[in-house]
Structure 1
Protein backbone atom coordinates (compact mmCIF):
# COMPACT_ATOMS: atom_id res chain seq x y z
CA UNK A 1 0.00 0.00 0.00
CA UNK A 2 2.97 2.31 -0.23
CA UNK A 3 1.64 3.99 -3.39
CA UNK A 4 -1.36 5.30 -1.44
CA UNK A 5 -0.19 8.57 0.05
CA UNK A 6 -2.25 9.93 2.89
CA UNK A 7 -3.60 12.92 4.63
CA UNK A 8 -2.14 13.67 8.03
CA UNK A 9 -4.35 12.65 10.98
CA UNK A 10 -4.22 16.28 12.06
CA UNK A 11 -5.91 17.43 8.83
CA UNK A 12 -9.21 19.17 9.47
CA UNK A 13 -12.15 17.37 7.84
CA UNK A 14 -14.70 20.00 8.87
CA UNK A 15 -14.50 21.71 5.48
CA UNK A 16 -15.00 18.47 3.55
CA UNK A 17 -18.62 18.17 2.41
CA UNK A 18 -20.67 15.01 2.59
CA UNK A 19 -20.54 12.59 -0.32
CA UNK A 20 -21.93 14.00 -3.58
CA UNK A 21 -24.84 12.68 -5.59
CA UNK A 22 -23.30 11.33 -8.80
CA UNK A 23 -24.94 12.22 -12.12
CA UNK A 24 -24.75 8.99 -14.08
CA UNK A 25 -24.67 8.40 -17.84
CA UNK A 26 -25.09 5.46 -20.24
CA UNK A 27 -28.67 4.77 -19.19
CA UNK A 28 -27.84 4.60 -15.46
CA UNK A 29 -29.59 6.81 -12.92
CA UNK A 30 -29.05 7.41 -9.21
CA UNK A 31 -31.24 9.07 -6.66
CA UNK A 32 -31.00 9.62 -2.94
CA UNK A 33 -33.01 7.13 -0.90
CA UNK A 34 -36.23 8.63 0.47
CA UNK A 35 -37.07 6.68 3.64
CA UNK A 36 -40.76 7.55 3.33
CA UNK A 37 -40.89 6.07 -0.16
CA UNK A 38 -38.06 3.54 -0.29
CA UNK A 39 -37.82 1.97 3.16
CA UNK A 40 -39.78 -1.16 2.26
CA UNK A 41 -37.59 -1.82 -0.78
CA UNK A 42 -34.29 -1.30 1.04
CA UNK A 43 -35.48 -3.38 3.99
CA UNK A 44 -36.60 -6.25 1.69
CA UNK A 45 -33.30 -6.24 -0.17
CA UNK A 46 -31.32 -6.31 3.07
CA UNK A 47 -33.23 -9.43 4.13
CA UNK A 48 -32.27 -11.31 0.96
CA UNK A 49 -29.86 -14.19 1.72
CA UNK A 50 -27.37 -13.16 -1.00
CA UNK A 51 -27.13 -9.68 0.58
CA UNK A 52 -27.21 -10.83 4.22
CA UNK A 53 -24.25 -13.14 3.56
CA UNK A 54 -21.90 -10.17 3.21
CA UNK A 55 -23.75 -7.13 4.57
CA UNK A 56 -24.87 -8.69 7.87
CA UNK A 57 -27.60 -6.04 8.17
CA UNK A 58 -30.84 -8.02 8.15
CA UNK A 59 -32.17 -5.50 10.62
CA UNK A 60 -35.79 -4.83 11.51
CA UNK A 61 -37.60 -2.25 9.40
CA UNK A 62 -37.40 0.34 12.22
CA UNK A 63 -33.64 0.06 12.45
CA UNK A 64 -33.28 0.52 8.69
CA UNK A 65 -35.53 3.58 8.90
CA UNK A 66 -33.25 5.05 11.58
CA UNK A 67 -30.13 4.08 9.60
CA UNK A 68 -31.28 5.78 6.41
CA UNK A 69 -32.44 8.91 8.20
CA UNK A 70 -29.16 9.04 10.12
CA UNK A 71 -27.13 8.82 6.94
CA UNK A 72 -29.19 11.55 5.33
CA UNK A 73 -28.71 13.84 8.34
CA UNK A 74 -24.91 13.48 8.39
CA UNK A 75 -21.84 14.02 6.22
CA UNK A 76 -20.40 10.49 6.35
CA UNK A 77 -22.54 8.46 3.95
CA UNK A 78 -25.18 9.01 1.26
CA UNK A 79 -27.63 6.16 0.56
CA UNK A 80 -28.68 5.81 -3.09
CA UNK A 81 -30.86 3.69 -5.29
CA UNK A 82 -29.28 3.05 -8.68
CA UNK A 83 -31.02 1.69 -11.73
CA UNK A 84 -30.71 1.40 -15.44
CA UNK A 85 -33.46 2.49 -17.81
CA UNK A 86 -36.15 2.08 -15.16
CA UNK A 87 -36.58 0.67 -11.68
CA UNK A 88 -33.84 0.59 -9.02
CA UNK A 89 -31.50 -2.40 -9.18
CA UNK A 90 -28.85 -1.63 -6.58
CA UNK A 91 -28.58 -0.10 -3.14
CA UNK A 92 -25.39 1.98 -2.97
CA UNK A 93 -23.81 3.88 -0.12
CA UNK A 94 -21.30 6.53 -1.13
CA UNK A 95 -19.16 7.45 1.88
CA UNK A 96 -16.23 9.68 2.82
CA UNK A 97 -13.44 7.22 3.51
CA UNK A 98 -11.62 9.59 5.89
CA UNK A 99 -14.73 9.58 8.12
CA UNK A 100 -15.13 5.80 7.98
CA UNK A 101 -13.61 2.86 9.81
CA UNK A 102 -11.66 2.08 6.61
CA UNK A 103 -9.49 5.15 7.33
CA UNK A 104 -7.94 3.11 10.12
CA UNK A 105 -6.49 0.58 7.68
CA UNK A 106 -5.30 2.72 4.78
CA UNK A 107 -4.06 6.29 4.41
CA UNK A 108 -7.32 7.99 3.45
CA UNK A 109 -7.24 11.48 1.98
CA UNK A 110 -9.96 13.94 3.03
CA UNK A 111 -11.84 13.74 -0.29
CA UNK A 112 -11.50 10.00 -0.94
CA UNK A 113 -14.87 8.34 -1.49
CA UNK A 114 -15.88 4.78 -0.76
CA UNK A 115 -18.68 2.56 -2.01
CA UNK A 116 -20.86 -0.17 -0.58
CA UNK A 117 -23.00 -1.91 -3.22
CA UNK A 118 -25.76 -4.49 -3.08
CA UNK A 119 -27.69 -5.91 -6.01
CA UNK A 120 -31.14 -6.17 -4.49
CA UNK A 121 -32.74 -9.03 -6.40
CA UNK A 122 -30.94 -12.37 -6.67
CA UNK A 123 -32.27 -12.77 -10.23
CA UNK A 124 -30.31 -9.63 -11.21
CA UNK A 125 -26.94 -10.95 -10.02
CA UNK A 126 -24.40 -12.35 -12.47
CA UNK A 127 -25.69 -10.13 -15.28
CA UNK A 128 -22.74 -7.75 -15.41
CA UNK A 129 -24.58 -4.89 -13.71
CA UNK A 130 -21.84 -4.00 -11.25
CA UNK A 131 -18.99 -4.28 -13.73
CA UNK A 132 -20.82 -1.99 -16.18
CA UNK A 133 -21.93 0.48 -13.48
CA UNK A 134 -18.61 0.97 -11.69
CA UNK A 135 -16.70 2.87 -14.41
CA UNK A 136 -19.70 5.18 -14.92
CA UNK A 137 -20.18 5.65 -11.17
CA UNK A 138 -16.50 6.32 -10.44
CA UNK A 139 -16.28 8.84 -13.29
CA UNK A 140 -19.44 10.56 -12.03
CA UNK A 141 -18.03 10.76 -8.50
CA UNK A 142 -14.78 12.26 -9.79
CA UNK A 143 -16.82 14.81 -11.77
CA UNK A 144 -19.02 15.61 -8.76
CA UNK A 145 -16.02 16.19 -6.46
CA UNK A 146 -13.00 17.55 -8.37
CA UNK A 147 -10.86 17.14 -5.22
CA UNK A 148 -11.55 13.41 -5.02
CA UNK A 149 -8.63 11.44 -6.45
CA UNK A 150 -9.55 7.93 -5.24
CA UNK A 151 -12.65 5.79 -4.85
CA UNK A 152 -12.30 2.71 -2.67
CA UNK A 153 -14.18 -0.54 -2.16
CA UNK A 154 -13.60 -3.04 0.65
CA UNK A 155 -15.38 -6.31 -0.13
CA UNK A 156 -15.13 -9.31 2.15
CA UNK A 157 -12.25 -11.47 0.87
CA UNK A 158 -14.67 -14.42 0.64
CA UNK A 159 -16.95 -12.54 -1.78
CA UNK A 160 -15.26 -13.71 -4.98
CA UNK A 161 -18.25 -12.65 -7.12
CA UNK A 162 -17.95 -9.04 -5.93
CA UNK A 163 -14.17 -8.96 -6.24
CA UNK A 164 -14.38 -10.25 -9.80
CA UNK A 165 -17.01 -7.64 -10.69
CA UNK A 166 -15.08 -4.82 -9.02
CA UNK A 167 -11.88 -5.78 -10.84
CA UNK A 168 -13.72 -5.92 -14.16
CA UNK A 169 -15.22 -2.53 -13.30
CA UNK A 170 -11.80 -0.89 -13.09
CA UNK A 171 -10.83 -1.22 -9.41
CA UNK A 172 -7.38 -2.56 -8.56
CA UNK A 173 -6.76 -4.74 -5.51
CA UNK A 174 -4.31 -3.16 -3.07
CA UNK A 175 -4.20 -5.69 -0.25
CA UNK A 176 -6.11 -7.38 2.51
CA UNK A 177 -7.14 -5.30 5.51
CA UNK A 178 -8.76 -6.20 8.81
CA UNK A 179 -12.00 -4.33 9.51
CA UNK A 180 -14.14 -4.80 12.63
CA UNK A 181 -16.61 -7.12 10.87
CA UNK A 182 -14.51 -8.79 8.17
CA UNK A 183 -11.23 -9.38 6.44
CA UNK A 184 -11.56 -7.20 3.36
CA UNK A 185 -9.74 -6.70 0.11
CA UNK A 186 -9.06 -2.99 -0.30
CA UNK A 187 -9.64 -2.03 -3.93
CA UNK A 188 -8.95 1.39 -5.45
CA UNK A 189 -9.77 3.33 -8.59
CA UNK A 190 -7.77 6.51 -9.10
CA UNK A 191 -8.72 9.58 -11.09
Structure 2
Protein backbone atom coordinates (compact mmCIF):
# COMPACT_ATOMS: atom_id res chain seq x y z
CA UNK A 1 0.00 0.00 0.00
CA UNK A 2 1.22 3.52 -0.77
CA UNK A 3 1.30 6.24 1.90
CA UNK A 4 2.48 9.85 2.07
CA UNK A 5 3.39 9.96 5.77
CA UNK A 6 6.08 8.40 7.95
CA UNK A 7 3.63 6.12 9.79
CA UNK A 8 1.16 3.51 8.61
CA UNK A 9 -1.84 1.86 10.31
CA UNK A 10 -1.99 -1.80 9.26
CA UNK A 11 -4.91 -2.79 11.47
CA UNK A 12 -7.34 -3.37 8.59
CA UNK A 13 -4.84 -5.62 6.81
CA UNK A 14 -4.46 -8.06 9.71
CA UNK A 15 -6.86 -10.98 9.55
CA UNK A 16 -5.37 -13.41 12.07
CA UNK A 17 -3.99 -11.82 15.23
CA UNK A 18 -2.26 -15.02 16.34
CA UNK A 19 -0.12 -15.33 13.17
CA UNK A 20 3.24 -13.77 12.34
CA UNK A 21 3.54 -11.00 9.75
CA UNK A 22 6.54 -9.80 7.74
CA UNK A 23 6.90 -6.10 6.98
CA UNK A 24 9.26 -4.27 4.64
CA UNK A 25 9.36 -0.67 3.44
CA UNK A 26 10.36 1.02 0.18
CA UNK A 27 10.79 4.75 -0.52
CA UNK A 28 9.56 6.44 -3.71
CA UNK A 29 10.76 10.01 -4.33
CA UNK A 30 10.18 11.57 -7.72
CA UNK A 31 11.59 9.12 -10.23
CA UNK A 32 13.86 7.41 -7.70
CA UNK A 33 13.06 4.15 -5.97
CA UNK A 34 14.97 2.78 -2.99
CA UNK A 35 15.65 -0.84 -2.21
CA UNK A 36 13.31 -2.72 0.10
CA UNK A 37 14.30 -2.65 3.76
CA UNK A 38 15.23 -5.80 5.63
CA UNK A 39 12.15 -7.85 6.48
CA UNK A 40 10.91 -7.39 10.04
CA UNK A 41 8.65 -10.03 11.55
CA UNK A 42 6.19 -9.30 14.29
CA UNK A 43 3.32 -10.97 16.16
CA UNK A 44 0.33 -8.68 16.79
CA UNK A 45 -0.38 -10.20 20.21
CA UNK A 46 3.19 -9.38 21.29
CA UNK A 47 2.94 -5.75 20.23
CA UNK A 48 3.64 -3.01 22.73
CA UNK A 49 0.61 -2.05 24.81
CA UNK A 50 -0.23 1.52 25.64
CA UNK A 51 -1.38 2.34 29.18
CA UNK A 52 -5.17 1.87 29.50
CA UNK A 53 -7.54 4.82 29.59
CA UNK A 54 -9.83 5.16 32.60
CA UNK A 55 -11.98 7.52 34.63
CA UNK A 56 -12.41 7.85 38.38
CA UNK A 57 -15.44 8.87 40.42
CA UNK A 58 -15.86 9.66 44.13
CA UNK A 59 -19.02 8.42 45.86
CA UNK A 60 -19.09 9.29 49.60
CA UNK A 61 -16.08 7.42 51.05
CA UNK A 62 -15.65 5.23 47.96
CA UNK A 63 -13.58 5.68 44.83
CA UNK A 64 -14.73 3.96 41.63
CA UNK A 65 -12.32 3.24 38.77
CA UNK A 66 -13.85 2.62 35.32
CA UNK A 67 -11.44 1.06 32.81
CA UNK A 68 -12.19 1.53 29.11
CA UNK A 69 -11.12 -1.21 26.72
CA UNK A 70 -10.90 -1.23 22.94
CA UNK A 71 -12.61 -3.80 20.68
CA UNK A 72 -9.28 -4.83 19.17
CA UNK A 73 -8.15 -6.12 22.57
CA UNK A 74 -10.69 -8.93 22.30
CA UNK A 75 -8.94 -10.12 19.13
CA UNK A 76 -5.40 -9.70 20.44
CA UNK A 77 -5.99 -11.33 23.82
CA UNK A 78 -8.76 -13.97 23.68
CA UNK A 79 -8.06 -14.92 27.31
CA UNK A 80 -8.75 -11.39 28.50
CA UNK A 81 -6.72 -8.69 30.19
CA UNK A 82 -5.33 -8.14 33.67
CA UNK A 83 -5.28 -4.57 34.95
CA UNK A 84 -3.07 -3.60 37.87
CA UNK A 85 -4.47 -0.60 39.75
CA UNK A 86 -2.30 1.57 41.98
CA UNK A 87 -4.18 3.74 44.50
CA UNK A 88 -1.95 6.39 46.10
CA UNK A 89 -3.01 8.10 49.32
CA UNK A 90 -1.32 11.50 49.01
CA UNK A 91 -1.84 12.40 52.66
CA UNK A 92 -0.48 9.29 54.37
CA UNK A 93 3.19 9.19 53.32
CA UNK A 94 2.12 8.32 49.75
CA UNK A 95 0.76 4.96 50.87
CA UNK A 96 -0.01 2.80 47.83
CA UNK A 97 -2.71 0.13 47.63
CA UNK A 98 -2.40 -2.35 44.73
CA UNK A 99 -5.35 -4.26 43.28
CA UNK A 100 -5.87 -6.43 40.21
CA UNK A 101 -8.87 -6.62 37.92
CA UNK A 102 -9.07 -9.63 35.58
CA UNK A 103 -11.28 -9.01 32.56
CA UNK A 104 -11.73 -12.67 31.60
CA UNK A 105 -15.25 -12.14 30.28
CA UNK A 106 -14.07 -9.45 27.87
CA UNK A 107 -16.56 -6.81 28.86
CA UNK A 108 -16.33 -3.37 27.30
CA UNK A 109 -15.65 -1.78 30.64
CA UNK A 110 -14.18 -3.04 33.91
CA UNK A 111 -14.98 -1.45 37.26
CA UNK A 112 -13.06 -1.55 40.52
CA UNK A 113 -14.36 0.06 43.72
CA UNK A 114 -12.17 1.01 46.69
CA UNK A 115 -14.25 1.11 49.88
CA UNK A 116 -13.81 2.65 53.32
CA UNK A 117 -11.47 5.45 52.28
CA UNK A 118 -10.87 8.56 54.37
CA UNK A 119 -13.21 11.51 53.91
CA UNK A 120 -11.58 14.67 52.54
CA UNK A 121 -8.33 13.03 51.45
CA UNK A 122 -6.72 13.23 48.04
CA UNK A 123 -6.22 9.96 46.15
CA UNK A 124 -4.46 9.30 42.86
CA UNK A 125 -4.92 6.30 40.55
CA UNK A 126 -2.46 4.75 38.08
CA UNK A 127 -3.02 1.72 35.84
CA UNK A 128 -1.03 -0.92 34.00
CA UNK A 129 -2.38 -3.49 31.52
CA UNK A 130 -1.19 -6.97 30.55
CA UNK A 131 -2.63 -9.56 28.18
CA UNK A 132 -3.44 -12.90 29.81
CA UNK A 133 -1.29 -15.64 28.31
CA UNK A 134 0.87 -13.10 26.45
CA UNK A 135 4.14 -11.24 27.00
CA UNK A 136 2.68 -7.82 26.24
CA UNK A 137 2.60 -5.43 29.19
CA UNK A 138 2.10 -1.67 29.18
CA UNK A 139 3.85 1.07 31.06
CA UNK A 140 2.12 2.57 34.08
CA UNK A 141 -0.31 5.34 33.10
CA UNK A 142 -0.21 8.93 34.28
CA UNK A 143 -1.98 9.61 37.55
CA UNK A 144 -5.54 10.84 37.84
CA UNK A 145 -6.30 12.47 41.18
CA UNK A 146 -9.33 13.66 43.12
CA UNK A 147 -10.23 14.60 46.67
CA UNK A 148 -13.06 12.81 48.43
CA UNK A 149 -15.79 15.08 49.83
CA UNK A 150 -15.73 15.97 53.50
CA UNK A 151 -18.27 14.00 55.50
CA UNK A 152 -20.25 17.00 56.76
CA UNK A 153 -20.68 18.36 53.22
CA UNK A 154 -21.88 14.97 52.00
CA UNK A 155 -24.49 14.81 54.78
CA UNK A 156 -25.69 18.34 54.00
CA UNK A 157 -26.00 17.53 50.29
CA UNK A 158 -27.94 14.35 51.06
CA UNK A 159 -30.37 16.11 53.42
CA UNK A 160 -30.84 18.91 50.88
CA UNK A 161 -31.76 16.38 48.21
CA UNK A 162 -34.27 14.71 50.52
CA UNK A 163 -35.79 18.07 51.40
CA UNK A 164 -36.16 18.92 47.71
CA UNK A 165 -37.97 15.64 47.10
CA UNK A 166 -40.41 16.38 49.95
CA UNK A 167 -41.12 19.87 48.58
CA UNK A 168 -41.79 18.48 45.11
CA UNK A 169 -44.16 15.87 46.56
CA UNK A 170 -46.13 18.57 48.38
CA UNK A 171 -46.35 20.69 45.23
CA UNK A 172 -47.61 17.74 43.21
CA UNK A 173 -50.29 17.08 45.84
CA UNK A 174 -51.43 20.72 45.71
CA UNK A 175 -51.60 20.64 41.92
CA UNK A 176 -53.54 17.38 42.08
CA UNK A 177 -56.17 18.78 44.46
CA UNK A 178 -56.68 22.31 43.12
CA UNK A 179 -55.73 22.44 39.43
CA UNK A 180 -57.64 19.42 38.14
CA UNK A 181 -61.34 19.39 37.36
CA UNK A 182 -63.14 17.76 40.30
CA UNK A 183 -65.23 14.76 39.42
CA UNK A 184 -68.51 13.84 40.99
CA UNK A 185 -68.10 12.30 44.40
CA UNK A 186 -70.52 9.74 45.80
CA UNK A 187 -72.93 11.25 48.32
CA UNK A 188 -71.77 8.80 50.99
CA UNK A 189 -68.26 10.41 50.98
CA UNK A 190 -69.55 13.87 51.84
CA UNK A 191 -67.82 17.17 51.17
CA UNK A 192 -64.65 16.29 53.05
CA UNK A 193 -63.85 13.50 50.62
CA UNK A 194 -64.10 15.57 47.43
CA UNK A 195 -60.44 16.54 47.21
CA UNK A 196 -59.19 13.09 48.13
CA UNK A 197 -61.49 11.46 45.59
CA UNK A 198 -60.26 13.82 42.84
CA UNK A 199 -56.58 13.11 43.64
CA UNK A 200 -57.07 9.37 43.52
CA UNK A 201 -58.78 9.58 40.14
CA UNK A 202 -56.04 11.84 38.75
CA UNK A 203 -53.15 9.67 39.89
CA UNK A 204 -54.45 6.45 38.31
Q: Could you tell me the TM-score, scaled by structure 2's length? A: 0.22
Greater share of residues in strand: 2
Structure of greater relative contact order (alpha carbons < 8 Å, 6+ residues apart): 1
Greater share of residues in helix: 1
Q: Greater CA radius of gyration, 1 or 2?
A: 2
